[in-house]
Amino acid sequence: LHSSAMRLAEGAVIGLPRALLFFELYPFWRAFFNGLGLVCAVSAPTSPETIEIGAREADDGTCLPVKTFYGHAASLRDRVDAIFLPRLVSLTRGTYTCPKMLGIPDMIRHNLERMPRILVTCVDATRGTGLVESSVALGRSLGRSAAHARTAARAGLEALRVFRDGLEQNLSFSQAIVEQFPREISRLCRETGNDASVGPGRRLRARVGLVGHAYNLFDPGVNLDLVRKLAKLGCDLRTSEHLSLVEVEAESSLLPKAIFWSGGRRVLAAVSLFRRQRLVDGIIHVVSFGCGPDSMVGEIAEREIRRSSSLPYLALTIDEHAAEAGLVTRLEAFTDMLERRRAGVGSA
Ligand code: SF4
């Protein structure tokens, strides 16, 4: 379950790669490690260099988010006492992440050289080892008492609750983080750069539902600053991350078959909610090239939309070769079309 079960002294620095489920669980890990007396160092925002290093070090067959994870892990190796690579199997009972995410600790350990001590804990809620249980066990392996580790895990849960509440109120990732870590995190949030709304003085042209993995929606270095581009074009956004868990489960129960990938389940629930409640004028699905779950979920989402509405749907596939110019052209064309439909010109 844990690698390097050895005490870590107070003040030791733990590296957190800013990739994959960092965008869902950062508040939890941050509050948890701080509660154990440890300091968190988050890797710098994704840059072309992060992606280049990741693409060089990772297996050719991996998706861009995993390659990006490699780049972030590599950037931390000389700066921290230990790097944290959780094995995330299942975050809620009955749902699963994906095989690549599950294998991340092993892939990094075997493919990246000169890594510092690696901390691993296995989160598998389906088998009864959720976030709290797995982190208490990790805290114990680092030399903390059970009571101390439990208190730190509870602080983590509370931080996660505040963060999720923020997202459900339609805050962006960075706004939701600022809510609870106002001082130290301000730099992280400015760097994340994903706050975007049409803003004062700009004309609203369309309401867009942006769906996909949090790490594709909230990382401007991976998605070519998609959120800001859409805001500049006059689009107001609702994302799949703004749904509560209750909404995800309620919408999933309306589908012919619930999907067991947690990321895919949230995407399909968002598509269903946005369509049924007419919350958006069109949907953009951000898909990772080479991702099996994304291609299947995309297919189901598109069919679901076509079967019951005329809502425009755009699948944007991203990989390390995605080009800025092509993306802008597609977004402009999509927004123009949504705007014409809102005005009642040429609507289907
Ligand atoms: S779900 Fe898809 S995009 Fe995410 S890590 Fe797995 S393969 Fe990559």
Q: How does pLDDT run across 316-327, given as a tens digit for each residue?
A: 999 888 778 889
User: What's the CA gap between 320 and 46, in Å, rounded?
Assistant: 12
Q: How far is the CA of 20 from the centre of ligand 1 (A)?
A: 8
What integer pLDDT is reported at residue 170 of this predicted model? 80
Tens digits of per-residue pLDDT, 166-218? 888 887 787 777 666 655 444 554 444 445 455 556 789 999 999 999 999 99
User: Quick one: pLDDT band at residue 268, thresholds 50, 70, 90?
Assistant: very high
Residue with tokens 């004309």: 203
Tens digits of per-residue pLDDT, 142-153? 999 999 999 999
What integer pLDDT is reported at residue 186 of this predicted model? 47
Q: How far is CA 22 from CA 84, 86, 197, 227, 266, in A?
A: 11, 10, 23, 18, 17
Rounded average pLDDT over 31-41: 96
Q: How far is the CA of 8 from the centre of ligand 1 (A)?
A: 32
Q: How far is the CA of 100 from the centre of ligand 1 (A)?
A: 6
Contacts of residue 147, Cβ cutoff 8 Å, sequence gap at least 6: none
Beta pairing class for 82-84 and 117-119? parallel
Altogether, the residues listed in the chain come to a count of 348
Q: How far is the CA of 300 from the centre of ligand 1 (A)?
A: 17
Helix (H) and strand (E) counts in the chain: 14, 10
Ligand 1 neighbours, Cβ below 6 Å, are 63, 65-66, 98, 100-101, 213, 263, 288, 291, 293-294
Tens digits of per-residue pLDDT, 46-101? 999 999 999 999 988 899 999 999 999 999 999 999 999 999 999 999 999 999 99
What integer pLDDT is reported at residue 192 of this predicted model? 47
Residue with tokens 């921290």: 80
User: What's the CA gap between 98 and 226, in Å, rounded?
Assistant: 24
CA angle 243, 248, 254 (to 5 degrees): 135
User: What's the CA gap between 184 and 159, in Å, rounded?
Assistant: 15
User: What's the CA gap between 250 and 87, in Å, rounded?
Assistant: 28
User: What's the CA gap between 318 and 166, in Å, rounded?
Assistant: 27
What integer pLDDT is reported at residue 346 of this predicted model? 54
Q: Looking at ligand 1, which residue's alpha carbon is closest to its atom 2?
A: 291
What integer pLDDT is reported at residue 308 of this predicted model? 84
Rounded average pLDDT over 18-44: 95
Across all residues in the chain, what is the average pLDDT?
Answer: 89
Rounded average pLDDT over 294-298: 93
What integer pLDDT is reported at residue 172 of this predicted model? 79
Q: How far is the CA of 17 from the centre of ligand 1 (A)?
A: 16
From the CA of 290, give the closest atom in ligand 1.
7
pLDDT cut 70: percent of the chain above it: 91
Residue with tokens 């802008």: 328
Q: How far apart are the first and last CA of the chain?
A: 54
Please list the residues that pair with 211 across neighbouring strands: 285
